[in-house]
Amino acid sequence: MAQPPQLVRVCAPELVSDGLASSHHTYLVELTGDGVICGSARRRFSDFDAIAKLLAARYAGMVLPPLPPKANPLQQRAEGFRQARMRGLALWAERVARVPTLLLDVLTAAF
C-alpha cells in the first residue's frame, strides 16, 4: 500500500544560542506538495504556541489539535526530549494541514 504524500514535515532540531546564557531549539518546518518542497522555515516552540493560540481565537468553537506540552528546563535536558517534541510538533502541523479551513488561513500560510 502506497504512503500518502506528506504535506508537512518537522525535522532537524538545532540549538540556537545568543552567546550569553540564553538558548533555544528551532525546528525545520517543510511544506511539500507532489513530493517537492514548496517552502520551509525554522520555527521554535513559542512560534507554534503563538500560531495555535491565534488559530484558537480565530476559530473559537472549532476543535483544534493540541500542541505537545511546554517543558521546564529540567525536562528539556532529558534523553529523547527533542525527538519527542519534534514528533509532537509534526503531529500538530499534520493535523492542522488536514483541515482545509486551517490550511488555507493566512495565519497558517504565513507560518
Counting every residue written for the chain, the total comes to 111
**20-53 pLDDT, tens digit each:** 777 888 999 998 877 787 889 999 999 999 999 9
Q: What is the pLDDT of residue 3?
A: 43
Mean pLDDT of the chain: 85
What pTM did the predictor assign?
0.82
